[in-house]
Amino acid sequence: MTPLRKRMIRELELARKSPRTIEAYVYAVQELATYYHRSPERISIEEIRDFIHDLVTRRKLAYSTVNQRLAGLKFFYRQVLGRDDVDLRVPAKRSKRLPEPLSRTEVARLLQAAEYNPKHRMILMTAYATGLRASELARLQLADIHSERMLIKVHQGKGRKDRYTLLSPRLLEELRNYWRIVRPHGWLFLNRDRNDHLPKGTAQKIYDLCKHRAGITRGRGIHTLRHSFATHLLEAGVDLPTIQRLLGHTSLVTTSKYLHVTSKHLSGTHSPLDLLRLPDSSQE
């Protein structure tokens, strides 16, 4: 590890940033250095803006991803290098893309496609049953499963907030079967060497593999199961504030986007075409 990276990690820890944020911010600086093949200390502001421009135009990264890269670079140049003159403001329009949840049938097909591997099946089932983010899923510990209260504790989720989410009786039964087969320790989902938690990227790869095997074309990434969790709860009659708390959203506005994709709120609505009285063309 270079002295510069050590300094950045120290400043991030002093600022009480979460491990997930530290990893993302350090990666942003590493990516910039790799892009220009030189130390970030010797990269100009205009070159940084060119790098961000490449992320937006050529790589077409999402608004939130670009914003995270910007936050990491700002922290590095201002807090680590002490360059208060750094201005990396880049006008960006927040994505209006709606969530694309899977149907219940598609979720069942996805889980069936993972039956060959108990660990893979359990990862996907837990993601759908709890609505956890991929990073939260990867860091679940056995001690977080509160079977007496039928809750799962999420430690330091987005925004460094703890919360609880659902532990269904069926999921608890499946988790117990999984434990008997796999025997995890500490972390619920261990990495390949069984000495640390599962990397977030591995969970993503597992989802992509099973999605391909199931022949599912809709939905992007394992986050789709979080969208499916929220949408199916809403369709089952659960109110938005409860779903907001389960998902760990700060604002109800964020949760309300699921109103746009649930069939429950559209099923009783008729198209204007259905209300028209047209001549019966079959009798002409």
Residue 132's pLDDT is 94
Encode pLDDT of 62-104 as tens digits: 787 888 899 999 999 999 999 877 777 665 555 567 778 999 9
| pLDDT of res. 95 | 58
Burial environment of residue 3 by CB neighbours within 10 A (0 to 12, 13 to 18, 19 or more): exposed
Coil vs helix vs strand at 267: coil
User: Which entry of 133, 139, 197, 227 is annotated as an active-site residue?
Assistant: 133
223 is catalytic: yes
Domains and CATH numbers, the chain: 3-80 (1.10.150.130), 104-260 (1.10.443.10)
Q: How far apart are CA 110 and CA 101, in angstroms?
A: 13
> Which of 121, 139, 227, 249 is labelled catalytic?
249
Task: Tell me the mean pLDDT in the region 133-153.
Answer: 93
CA pseudo-torsion sign 129, 160, 249, 20 = negative
CA torsion sign for 52, 58, 64, 68 is: negative
Catalytic residue among 7, 200, 223, 257: 223
Task: Select from 2, 79, 7, 83 the least CA-distant residue to 38.
Answer: 2
What integer pLDDT is reported at residue 275 of this predicted model?
Answer: 65
Catalytic pick among 258, 260, 265, 270: 258
Q: Are 205 and 233 in contact (CB under 8 A)?
A: no
Gyration radius of the chain's alpha carbons: 23
Higher-confidence position of 106 and 257: 106
Q: Which of 62-76, 117-131, 241-255 has the highest mean pLDDT?
A: 117-131
Residue of 69, 120, 226, 227 marked active site: 226
Q: How confident is the model at residue 119 (pLDDT cuts 50, 70, 90)?
A: very high
The pLDDT of residue 256: 85
pLDDT band at residue 6, thresholds of 50, 70 and 90?
A: very high
> Given pLDDT bands bounded at 50, 70 and 90, which one contains residue 170?
very high
Tell me the per-residue pLDDT of 25-65, one tens digit each, with 9 for 90 and over.
999 999 999 999 999 999 988 899 899 999 888 888 878 78
**pLDDT-derived band at 141, boundaries 50, 70, 90:** very high
| 125 confidence band (pLDDT: 50, 70, 90) | very high
pLDDT at 276 over 80: no
pLDDT at 122 over 80: yes
| Catalytic option among 17, 119, 158, 257 | 158
**pLDDT per position as a tens digit, 196-220:** 999 888 999 999 999 999 999 988 8
Percentages of the chain per state (helix, strand, coil), in multiples of 5: 55, 5, 40
Q: Does the annotation count 133 as an active-site position?
A: yes
- Report how far Cα 64 is from the mean position of its chain's Cα atoms: 11
* The pLDDT of residue 280: 64
Q: What is the pTM of this model?
A: 0.71
What is the average pLDDT score of the chain?
87
What amino acid is encoded at 226 in this protein?
A: R
